Chains A and B, each alone.
Chain A
Amino acid sequence: MSVLVFVDHQNGKASKASLEAVGYAKKVADQLGTDLAAISYAGINADGGIGAYGANRLHVASNVSVPDSGQLAKAVEAAASAEGADVVIFSHDDLGKAVAPRVAVRLKAGLVTGVTSMPGDGLEVTKNVFSGKAKAMVSYKTDKKVISILPNAFGMMPNETTTEVKEFSPEVGSAGITVKEVNTTASDGEIPLPEADLVVSAGRGMKGPEHWGIIEDLAKELGAATACSRPVSDIGWRPHHEHVGQTGVAIRPTLYIAVGISGAIQHLAGVNGSKVIVVVNKDPEAPFFKAADYGIVGDAFEVVPKLTAALKSFKANH
């Protein structure tokens, strides 16, 4: 009756979101007085790094080679049954969103996604609702439970152990999807926005795409990802995947720096889970200051380069 956690991988290693889920699952296993098993699919190299987060066993479905939600759900079900697991944990990332609902149906388990708390005594959990404007406490009515945690809500929880790796070939049928092509546009070292701890974001106050250099410089100096408001991606100044907010990506970095963004309620909905918010805006009445921890009232074109310079000298001295 172990706890089971689903692990995705990139380049042979468990993804950051999956490692966070393994750390979370380990805590749940401790809470239930049991051990932790993991399930992944072909392409993961050895334990993929999950031993450092407390997984006792890893089942690798060696006959599943594309991230097909139908096949993966069957593999997870097979591993859950081999382990007698009644609690299955996912990260609510792109693959988790595809697989967890299918697993819940197969196991006849309740499913709560976007979970932001450790489970309570009755395994009830808290999740964000109304796009981060409220929280809901949800309880399960089923014996089996699937918990899908909000990425970046818990952080990394290392817990060194040795993972026994077992390959298996569950009955999964044929894949429903084939991968035609994969195009990576990101230059080396670019940080994917949903995983970023530090984010520099800019809005219509930047006046045009040609002025983004100072934003990118600051982001680079910080080691941060870049983001933008919706109108900025709608007009095509920045790519769509940078659009954060209620109708874009929801992020919860430790630091969110917003430059030339007014702070509309729909924008805040996607960033109000950030630990610390810094706002740079020339309008002292900008609504964003009400949601900010630190604010600078000033012209972005003057403030941002100064901030980058100040950061440079700070780094030189630390």
Chain B
Amino acid sequence: MKILVCISKAPDTTSKIAFKDNNTAFDENGVQFIVNPYDEWYALVRAIELKEAQGGSVTTITVGGADNDPIIRKALAIGADDAIRVDMDAKDAFQVANEIALQAKEGGYDLVLCGKETINNNGGVIGGMLAELMDAPYVPLATKLEVNGSTAEITRDIPGGEEVLNAELPLVISAAKGMAEQRIPNMRGIMAARSKALNVVAPSGTEANTEVKSYALPPAKGDCTFIDAENPEELIKKLHEEAKVI
């Protein structure tokens, strides 16, 4: 089975979020970058587990500049076999999906996995766009994934329970919590990653469909009103009369 995993770079979850150039760009100054957690913890690790159990290969794909190489090497250290980087500074998700779709079609993958969303753009659209561009079935927010021959069994949460779906490969899945357990790369993996292929390819030149005009930070929260632990009636009263939420 040939598996393609979409890997994106994201600021570390504790990063201070600030903007520059008149609030039109994220200020990367002092920010540590990580592999987007959904891509790494769930999509990538499940892909590696499937390969370990059934054979095949795991390729990662990233759309971005050379500043993505450290996180790509991390994915290789965790256990991907090789990596593709489409060398472009994408402006929106459609550009990213389109570049990935071109590579996915050319590589003839059976399974394309991505995380449910990135923690910086919170779009959650790459998988769906990819599936449409590849004319493949798509199941987002999968919590379990099994593959038997050419059929996949996918579990996902629904309100108040879960549903189990079947779909034929080739297939696109977005991964949510539950699909796998995070793996910490070991020394051997880190050494091996250095000699694995990271193939840089030129972009096709798709145009973006949307454009971020500006960013803003939310207004600062007012002070917390403290209520005596012996007097919870006071809290109920305030929630009713002042906050009007009950």
A311 to B126, CA, bound (A): 45
Q: Which B residues touch A314, using CB under 8 A?
A: 233, 236-237, 240, 246
Q: Are B159 and A183 in contact (CB under 8 A)?
A: no
| A112 CB-CB contact with B under 8 Å | yes
Selected from B14, B143, B209, B228, the residue in CB contact (under 8 A) with A110 is B209
| A219 CB-CB contact with B under 8 Å | no
Q: 17 A-B pairs, CB-CB below 8 angstroms?
A: A68-B137, A70-B137, A98-B128, A101-B128, A106-B132, A134-B216, A134-B217, A135-B218, A141-B208, A181-B164, A192-B160, A240-B178, A247-B41, A295-B226, A299-B229, A306-B232, A309-B232
| A97 CB-CB contact with B under 8 Å | yes
Q: Are A278 and B235 in contact (CB under 8 A)?
A: yes
Q: Which of B45-53, B66-74, B81-89, B117-125 makes up part of the contact surface?
A: B117-125
Minimum C-beta distance from A238 to chain B (A)? 13
| A177 CB-CB contact with B under 8 Å | yes
Q: Which chain A residue shows the least CB distance to B163?
A: A182
Q: How many residues of A contact B (CB 8 A)?
A: 95
Main secondary structure of the interface of B (DSSP, over half): mixed
Minimum C-beta distance from A237 to chain B (A)? 15
Interface size class on chain B is 35 or more
Given A129-B121, A136-B212, also A183-B163 (CB < 8 A): yes
A73 to B167, CA, bound (A): 17
Given A98-B138, A101-B127, A265-B13, also A111-B132 (CB < 8 A): no
Q: Which B residues touch A255, using CB under 8 A?
A: 239, 243, 245-246
Selected from B13, B154, B163, B224, the residue in CB contact (under 8 A) with A279 is B224
Q: Are A97 and B159 in contact (CB under 8 A)?
A: no
Given A134-B17, A246-B119, also A97-B162 (CB < 8 A): no
Minimum C-beta distance from B111 to chain A (A)? 14
Q: Are B119 and A240 in contact (CB under 8 A)?
A: no
Q: Which chain A residue shows the least CB distance to B162?
A: A183
Interface membership of chain A positions 281-318, coded 1 if the CB is closer than 8 angstroms to chain B and 0 otherwise: 00000000111111111110011001101110110001
Given A97-B128, A291-B221, also A176-B136 (CB < 8 A): yes
| B3 CB-CB contact with A under 8 Å | no
Q: Are B226 and A297 in contact (CB under 8 A)?
A: yes
Give residues in B with beta carbon < 8 Å to A. 11, 13-14, 17, 19, 37-38, 41, 92-94, 97, 119-129, 131-133, 135-141, 143, 153-154, 156-168, 171, 174, 177-178, 207-218, 221-222, 224-230, 232-233, 235-240, 243, 245-246
Given A129-B121, A177-B165, also A254-B216 (CB < 8 A): no
Give residues in A with beta carbon < 8 Å to B. 10, 68-70, 73, 92, 94, 97-102, 104-106, 108-114, 124, 127-142, 176-186, 190, 192, 194-195, 198, 222, 240-241, 243, 246-248, 250, 254-255, 265-266, 269, 272, 275-276, 278-279, 289-299, 302-303, 306-307, 309-311, 313-314, 318
Given A111-B94, A112-B210, also A130-B225 (CB < 8 A): no
A70 to B132, CA, bound (A): 7
A133 to B94, CA, bound (A): 23
Q: Are B213 and A137 in contact (CB under 8 A)?
A: yes
Q: Which A residues touch B214, using CB under 8 A?
A: 136-137
Q: Which A residues touch B222, using CB under 8 A?
A: 293
Selected from B41, B138, B212, the residue in CB contact (under 8 A) with A69 is B138
Q: Are B160 and A307 in contact (CB under 8 A)?
A: no
Selected from B124, B235, B240, the residue in CB contact (under 8 A) with A307 is B235
Given A101-B132, A113-B123, also A177-B137 (CB < 8 A): yes
